[in-house]
Structure 1
Amino acid sequence: MSLEKLADLIYPDINKTIEDYIKMYPKRNLKEGAKVTRYAPSPTGFQHIGGVFSALIDERLAVQSGGVFYLRIEDTDQKREVEGAVEDTISTMHNFGLNFHEGMTGKDTSKGDYGPYRQSERAEIYKTFAKHLILKGLAYPCFCNADELNALREKQIAEKITPGYYGEYAHCRNLSTEEAIEKIERGESYILRLKSPGNSDNKVVLQDLIKGEVVFPENNQDIVLIKGDGLPTYHFAHVVDDYLMKTTHVIRGEEWLSSAPIHLQLFEVLGFEPPKYAHTPTIMKQDEGSKRKLSKRKDPEAAVSYYREVGYPVQSVIEYLLNIINSGFETWRAENPFADSYDFEIALDKMSKSGALFDLVKLSDVSKDVISRMKATEVYEKYTEWAKEFDPQMYELVTANESMAKEIFNIDREGPKPRKDYAKWMDVREKIFYFFDELFYKETVDQIELPKNVDMEEAKRIIAAYAEAYNFDADKDTWFEELKAVGEQLGYTANRKEFKANPENFKGMIADVAAVVRAALTHRANTPDLYTIMHVMGEEKVRDRFAKF
């Protein structure tokens, strides 16, 4: 009777039972093997790449099995909530094609039958489950203040005892129900703790879907269930929610692995079957020869906003993350160059068990492949969409010359080995600036890349001679023969063997002549096919460039 009195004193307005909620959240009507996963961020900051990595696994597992992927906002730590973080999460997920079947759709809106999908709106549910544990003698009020808990911890550390609130160190654990009631009636502050039935000498086994069998000591800590503000801790809330929402698979970072014994114990004391857990490897970065965790503070690429700002296509980031999730993706992509990346089935047991290395060089390689598979019109659309926000000058130039821009983006694109000039949209300006007089003539003489053995005076002589012979209407073979003839007249040779045997007899190779023509038109030594560039520019611009050179 006294436990009922205690429970009613703590939760006088809670009239429902956990059985009522179990009826309200029935078993989902899904096919055999369908997975129910959730992305459950705290709105304490803006999205980082690790969140997209985790959500991508959740989304793929659910969709590939014909299941449900939902968004739950875990906002029980309200002091740390950042304004706009929920909306940022939702827009980020949509931008990456990670569309939820259920969950939050805006700051205050949601869809689905298993909500509310914001934990701060589920307070009554947590109180009902907490009241249930009090009635079973598995939860109790703790009146220890922060100073007392700090003193306890310092004493335990000094005596080399495992720190924590458990066993003989759990001072409020053995208060009689009457003493607890008396303290509450006196107005003393308290939190609610689990009365752990665990013994650290016993072992608990977790069959982790990535790491395999992991063995821990059983949890014996009387963890906090409900904080002083009446809201639950992560430990308690996620167990209640994952059970009611019928989550089948919890995918989360390996930093939560050590909490698994607590969570398994909570499912056990509530009498619920736990979901399957998969703890993903921490995303690491190579830094001065050693690996470290990718840092939100130190590494710009940790923030999702970075990829939009520098212009990595969303698909490039997705494909790179799929490659981290399962290294077999790279082989699959090589065998299926034009398949939708979502046709690739991810497998948790094929994930790396240790830290996943995030490498921007590798991302750029993947992105070059992704962009090289796009049609010129798609490159134009995606580039101008990016440039409108991040490079307004290029946006104006490219959109004012739409037809030419599409020709530029189509250079060497349609063949079996398309060029891979761009890893991100920020690269485009440097690669195509020379098509636009507004940018080209801003360059100084020292930015012109000439062959090593050709000085500026000789370059001018070559261009003067070539400009006279140049025929815009010649086909590619004729064009090259004409270029070669000019070069030979000026003392250059097309015969590499002769040049190597008697270099003193020649000024250089015909390739040097072509390089000078390239430099006069583009200022660069490395560009796509010169003949094609000249035809995209048009005869008037080519002749103007020769004259001004």
Structure 2
Amino acid sequence: MLDRAVIDALFPADLPEPEHWEQQYPPRELPEGAQVTRFGPSPTGFVHIGGIYVATIDRDIATHSGGAYLVRVEDTDQSREVEGALDQFARAFDYFHITPDEDDTHGTYGPYRQSARERIYLTYVRHLLRQGKAYLCFATKDELADITARQQAAKLPTGYYGTWAIWRDADPADVAAKLAEGAPYVVRFRAPDNATGQRARFTDAIRGELEHEANRNDTVILKSSDQSPRLPTYHFAHAVDDHLMRVNLVIRGDEWISSVPLHQQLFDALGFEPVTYAHIAPLMKQIPGGKRKLSKRKDPEAGVDFYIQAGYPADAVLYYLRGLANGRLAEMPLDAALTTPIRLDQCGVAGPLVDLVKLEDISADHIGTLTSRQVFDAVRTWATDHDPELVAVLDTETDLALRALAVEREGVDNPRKDLRKWSDFRAAYGFFFSQLFAPLSDASDERLAPLGVAPDIAASFARDFADGYEHLTDPQEWFNQIRELAAKHGFAPNAKEYKKNPDAYSGSIREASQLVRVALTGSTRSPDLHAIAQALGAEEVLRRLRALAVPGEN
């Protein structure tokens, strides 16, 4: 074991003792049973929707238990940090209303970025070195590769442990010599001598009693001495941070179950009270023949920005995610499900499937409950970042937009569900706006082709309709204009009559009304035709009809 003076010389002279940090970050004054949770995003890529899934549960458990939820950025691997990742975290948390009680902008247990907590970690690394629970390791990359190769040849577990840990019990004189020559080193945790062959047992808040092979490896806890700043590995940093931030419940993906034995050893070596772990099953994707984890590399819907850019309503996504966590919440109305507590003991151990079709159905149902004004405000907010041209149109034509959104939405038992996300607005309602709608070029416009009406008949029908058009408020009276004009232009009064003798007619009343529909909307599918005409106003209706009234070129 190294002399204390040698150890202390490796660290800043003014480095505080552990007691200093214990006093600076005292136990929280919270009610009994309160849970302090944390979400620890790493700025090494985009935010996975699974992160929002876990953060939602973190936020919910902390809130309903009277505890606290904090966000701590785990950026100790600075070589892999991606520019803009931190901005994406903020954007995702804001969009999905998962505001932390504490983060790097506020909170008394910070800093909340691990890269800013170097002195704290160094204190506890020094503490373990002084106790002989950690040691300096000067093994080179070549030596480590050789150890691994020999272990594989001998069909032994790979790792740095036991007699393979060549610096574990090194002579202090050899360590001093290496230090004197300035050789770089890492600090490794000294795994308990009795770890090999043992089993670690722990209680998971979701999965109950679990056991796993005890950790035998002397894990690196402080990275190479030739790096600045001197940052720890995730395993060590999380143990120190969770203790000092007084986190008592860690909710994380089930890929971390195998790390629990090491984390138990670290908490024990540091003299910390261990936290409770809850390991969440990952979100999955259905594929031919089975399912797999939702992948950052393969699946666009794995990224949070996919949902933000498309404009899925945050409440609909949160409702869907909460239903994946606890199936009972999926059976509740949205408002109730968003406020009913999530229960960890009702989280499944098999990964739930992410089904975008189901999410879009939920989203459409949710949007269907909103007023025209609520939809308008949400679309405009989304468009501010994602469709500036649409913002300008909405600001110029606010009254028209509200009239358009009210069609078959307000005052009806079953409102239209043509919006599943805010980016659908252009496709569903763009035809209401002259700035976004291209009128028919003439009666041969390809958008009329599905009707099978001769261009000259379509043009004369539209011309007569425009010449005698009355902007009537009564739906039946308004439609009678089409009915009377259809008969004059040789359209059958109904589809049955047309089918009996198609050569005798230009089409049926259906084709006649569809001529008007396509003229006004550009499509054969739309909301109620009279309601559209009322929303557009007489002047715009006539402008569009007269575009159809131009004979097509044959």
TM-score norm. by structure 1 comes to 0.89
Distance (whole Å) between structure 1 residues aligned to residue 117 and residue 388 of structure 2: 46
Aligned twin of 1:431: 428
Equivalent residue letter for 1:427: D
Contact 2:519 2:545 (C-alpha < 8 Å) held by counterparts: yes
2:171 aligned residue (161, 166, 176): 176
Counting only pairs closer than 5 Å after superposition, residues 504-519 of structure 1 correspond to structure 2 as: 509-519=508-518
Q: Shift in Å at residue 147 of structure 1? A: 0.8
Contact 1:14 1:124 (C-alpha < 8 Å) held by counterparts: no
Aligned twin of 1:257: 257
Q: Shift in Å at residue 402 of structure 1? A: 1.5
Aligned twin of 1:55: 55
Q: Shift in Å at residue 142 of structure 1? A: 1.2
2:118 aligned residue (118, 123, 130): 123
Aligned twin of 1:148: 143
* Deviations 1:219-248, CA, capped at 9 Å, x for gaps: 111111111133211001100110111101
Q: CA RMSD in A?
A: 2.8
Aligned twin of 1:221: 217
Secondary structure in 2 matching 1:69: strand
Distance (whole Å) between structure 1 residues aligned to residue 104 and residue 12 of structure 2: 30
Could you tell which deviates more after superposition, 64-73 or 216-225?
64-73
Secondary structure in 2 matching 1:38: strand
* Deviations 1:362-390, CA, capped at 9 Å, x for gaps: 33222222322222122222323333443
Q: Shift in Å at residue 419 of structure 1? A: 0.9
Q: Shift in Å at residue 455 of structure 1? A: 4.0
1:353 aligned residue (332, 349, 356): 349
Equivalent residue letter for 1:63: T
Secondary structure in 2 matching 1:440: coil
Equivalent residue letter for 2:537: G
Aligned twin of 2:551: none
Could you tell which deviates more after superposition, 169-178 or 521-530?
169-178
Query: Are positions 1:403 and 2:403 aligned together?
Result: no
Is the alpha carbon distance of 1:404 and 1:205 closer, same or farther for their aligned partners in structure 2, counting shifts above 3 Å? same
Could you tell which deviates more after superposition, 34-43 or 282-291?
282-291
Q: What count of residue pairs does the alignment treat as equivalent?
A: 540
Distance (whole Å) between structure 2 residues aligned to residue 83 and residue 439 of structure 1: 36
Could you tell which deviates more after superposition, 54-63 or 219-228?
54-63
Q: Shift in Å at residue 99 of structure 1? A: 1.3
Aligned twin of 2:377: 381
Equivalent residue letter for 2:300: P
Q: Shift in Å at residue 501 of structure 1? A: 7.2
Distance (whole Å) between structure 1 residues aligned to residue 467 and residue 348 of structure 2: 63
Aligned twin of 1:441: 438
Is the alpha carbon distance of 1:377 and 1:447 closer, same or farther for their aligned partners in structure 2, counting shifts above 3 Å? farther
* Deviations 1:70-96, CA, capped at 9 Å, x for gaps: 121222222223344334423431232
Distance (whole Å) between structure 2 residues aligned to residue 205 and residue 416 of structure 1: 56
Contact 2:457 2:489 (C-alpha < 8 Å) held by counterparts: no
Secondary structure in 1 matching 2:332: helix
Is the alpha carbon distance of 1:243 and 1:411 closer, same or farther for their aligned partners in structure 2, counting shifts above 3 Å? same
Gaps of 5+ in 1: 106-110
1:136 aligned residue (125, 128, 131): 131
Could you tell which deviates more after superposition, 12-21 or 93-102?
12-21
Distance (whole Å) between structure 1 residues aligned to residue 142 and residue 341 of structure 2: 52
Could you tell which deviates more after superposition, 241-250 or 80-89?
80-89
Contact 1:14 1:127 (C-alpha < 8 Å) held by counterparts: no
Contact 2:221 2:236 (C-alpha < 8 Å) held by counterparts: yes
Could you tell which deviates more after superposition, 83-92 or 499-508?
499-508
* Deviations 1:324-365, CA, capped at 9 Å, x for gaps: 3333333212xxx5x276313222222232233333333322
Secondary structure in 2 matching 1:225: strand
Aligned twin of 2:366: 370
Secondary structure in 2 matching 1:356: coil
Distance (whole Å) between structure 2 residues aligned to residue 25 and residue 246 of structure 1: 8
Aligned twin of 1:108: none
Distance (whole Å) between structure 1 residues aligned to residue 68 and residue 281 of structure 2: 24
Distance (whole Å) between structure 2 residues aligned to residue 403 and residue 141 of structure 1: 72
Counting only pairs closer than 5 Å after superposition, residues 328-339 of structure 1 correspond to structure 2 as: 328-333=328-333, 337=334, 339=335
Equivalent residue letter for 1:395: V
Counting only pairs closer than 5 Å after superposition, residues 230-379 of structure 1 correspond to structure 2 as: 230-287=230-287, 290-333=290-333, 337=334, 339=335, 342-379=338-375
Aligned twin of 2:552: none
Aligned twin of 2:32: 32
Q: Shift in Å at residue 269 of structure 1? A: 2.1
Contact 1:284 1:356 (C-alpha < 8 Å) held by counterparts: yes
Could you tell which deviates more after superposition, 25-34 or 527-536?
25-34
* Deviations 1:24-82, CA, capped at 9 Å, x for gaps: 32221111221111111222334332322222221121112221111212222222233
Contact 2:76 2:115 (C-alpha < 8 Å) held by counterparts: yes
Gaps of 5+ in 2: 549-554
Aligned twin of 1:113: 108
Could you tell which deviates more after superposition, 28-37 or 173-182?
173-182
Is the alpha carbon distance of 1:472 and 1:117 closer, same or farther for their aligned partners in structure 2, counting shifts above 3 Å? same
Could you tell which deviates more after superposition, 283-292 or 251-260?
283-292
Contact 1:285 1:291 (C-alpha < 8 Å) held by counterparts: yes
Equivalent residue letter for 2:159: G
* Deviations 1:171-203, CA, capped at 9 Å, x for gaps: 111223444344334433221111111524221
* Deviations 1:475-494, CA, capped at 9 Å, x for gaps: 12333444444445555556
Contact 1:451 1:512 (C-alpha < 8 Å) held by counterparts: no
TM-score norm. by structure 2 comes to 0.88
Q: Shift in Å at residue 155 of structure 1? A: 1.5
Q: Shift in Å at residue 113 of structure 1? A: 1.9
Could you tell which deviates more after superposition, 530-539 or 260-269?
260-269
Q: Shift in Å at residue 19 of structure 1? A: 3.6
Distance (whole Å) between structure 2 residues aligned to residue 352 and residue 493 of structure 1: 60
Distance (whole Å) between structure 1 residues aligned to residue 232 and residue 90 of structure 2: 24
Distance (whole Å) between structure 1 residues aligned to residue 88 and residue 489 of structure 2: 63
Distance (whole Å) between structure 1 residues aligned to residue 200 and residue 148 of structure 2: 25
Could you tell which deviates more after superposition, 86-95 or 247-256?
86-95
Aligned twin of 1:95: 95
Aligned twin of 2:191: 196
Aligned twin of 1:532: 531
Query: Are positions 1:208 and 2:219 aligned together?
Result: no
Secondary structure in 1 matching 2:266: helix
* Deviations 1:71-126, CA, capped at 9 Å, x for gaps: 21222222223344334423431232111211212xxxxx2221222222222222
Equivalent residue letter for 1:176: D
Equivalent residue letter for 1:147: D
* Percent of aligned pairs with the same amino acid: 40
Distance (whole Å) between structure 2 residues aligned to residue 443 and residue 481 of structure 1: 24
Q: Shift in Å at residue 16 of structure 1? A: 3.8
Distance (whole Å) between structure 2 residues aligned to residue 26 and residue 359 of structure 1: 44
Distance (whole Å) between structure 1 residues aligned to residue 52 and residue 262 of structure 2: 26
Q: Shift in Å at residue 265 of structure 1? A: 1.7
Contact 2:35 2:62 (C-alpha < 8 Å) held by counterparts: yes
